[in-house]
Amino acid sequence: MSQSDNRELLSDVGRICFKCFLMTMGVLLVWFAAFTQAGDWAWEFQSQWFNELSKPEFIQINYYGMTFLKLCAFLFFLFPCLAIKWQLKRNRPMNSA
């Protein structure tokens, strides 16, 4: 694999990671909007299955889940994307006149 193939592959992986980060943030926004708008209904629905689930526990589970998703998005998608972009920019070949 040549140097230009490696750069192209890294560039593609960086774009994929960024798109995955954006999609994960979209899922997080939808989750947050659904939780804030239909939280009571969701708790009532879930409490039918889990009889001992209190409303504070339900809220805590949702916030922990959103926090976990956000941390995973940053750790697995945004940070690798930034590292790839930084490496590609650092190793840019010099243009000759």
HSE-CB of 20 using CA atoms within 13 angstroms: 17
Using DSSP, state whether 93 is helix, strand or coil: coil
Q: Indicate the SS3 state at residue 42.
A: helix
Q: How far apart are CA 58 and CA 9, in angstroms?
A: 43
Confidence of residue 97 (pLDDT cuts 50, 70, 90): very low
pTM: 0.85
Boundaries of every domain in the chain? 3-91
Mean pLDDT, rounded, for 53-57: 92
**In the structure, what pLDDT confidence band is assigned to residue 95 with cuts at 50, 70 and 90?**
low
